[in-house]
Amino acid sequence: MNTTNNTILITGGGSGIGRGLAEAFHALGNQVIIAGRSQKKLDETTGANPGMNSLTVDMTDGDSILAFAAQLTQDYPELNVVINNAGVMAPENLLDQKPGVPDVEAVIATNLLGPIRLTAALLPSLLKQPHSTIVNVSSGLAFVPLAMTPTYCATKAALHSYTESLRYQLKATSVEVLELVPPYVQTELMGEQQASDPRAMPLDAFLAEVMSLFAVDPTPAEICVKTVHPLRFAADGGQEKYAQIFNGLNDAMSAH
């Protein structure tokens, strides 16, 4: 992936990893468009980064995504990088769920249906570019789930699977498909306390390592900082080793 001379869309670009990536790519001179539901967060980010633009979209709503994609390709016909980063994460007590599990449906719509719908809507335009890139942001928890957030982890595992299939189907085209696999990072994904949790990787360190991996030629299909390797490759050690990692992760996180 070229890290310069791009027109880049980043969903969920108003905070956390999305904002960090937006600012990093913006600093390299790319045209960056961030998207999300919160106009306030989008305005705060673009206000701090002159030249960065934004559009609102509800990633849980298929019609909103179609309208957004049409506006985006009209306003930015040279769009050649899409980073599907928007995501929500919430704890769930599976022994005490609300009828119809509406919260679960929102997580699935945002984390899985959203990227699939947006990719489908933008792919015809991306295929017209000399070279373009789709980056799907999954998680180390796609490979070793955190039991307290079962639906989040399931959506990220599904997004990983979808990304592999997408990459295979597009292998003869000009569209490159990458997967960014974050570890536990100091953001506010699970609340303000996460941003200062010493167990989480500092956001600046994560971004620095990620940007260096994006710049590798050829860019690895999976962007994995070293901190996430124990989760990403947990299954490589066999079932017993995997069980140790799974239980260790969940025991440690449930103890706090």
How many domains are contained in the chain?
Answer: 1
Tens digit of each residue's pLDDT (9 = 90 or more) over 102-129: 689 999 999 999 999 999 999 999 999 9
pLDDT at 190: 82
pLDDT at 105: 92
Determine the average pLDDT of the residues in 209-227.
97
Across 148-186, b (16+ Cβ under 10 Å) vs e yields: bbebbbbbbbbbbebbeebbeebeeeebbbbbbbbbbbb
CATH (domain of 220): 3.40.50.720
- Under 8 Å CB-to-CB from 225, ≥6 apart: which residues? 182, 183, 201, 206, 209, 210, 213
At 188, is the pLDDT very low, low, confident or very high (cuts 50, 70, 90)? Answer: confident
Active site residue 162: no
Q: Out of 41-55, 140-154, 178-192, 210-224, which region has the weakest mean confidence (pLDDT)?
A: 178-192
Residue 134 has pLDDT above 70, yes or no: yes
Determine the average pLDDT of the residues in 52-77.
97
**The domain containing residue 243 runs over which residues?**
7-254
In this structure, is residue 1 part of a structural domain?
A: no
pLDDT at 125: 98
What is the average pLDDT value for the chain, to the nearest integer?
Answer: 96
In this structure, is residue 2 part of a structural domain?
A: no
Share of the chain above pLDDT 90, in %: 91
Tens digit of each residue's pLDDT (9 = 90 or more) over 78-94: 999 999 999 999 999 99
Residue 98 has pLDDT above 80, yes or no: no
In this structure, is residue 214 part of a structural domain?
A: yes
Report the 10 Å Cβ neighbour count for 87. Answer: 26
In this structure, is residue 20 part of a structural domain?
A: yes
Task: Write down the catalytic residue from 76, 152, 184, 242.
Answer: 152
Q: Measured between alpha carbons, how far is 123 from 132 in angstroms, rounded to an integer?
A: 10
pLDDT at 256: 65
Taking the complete model, does pTM exceed 0.85, yes or no? yes
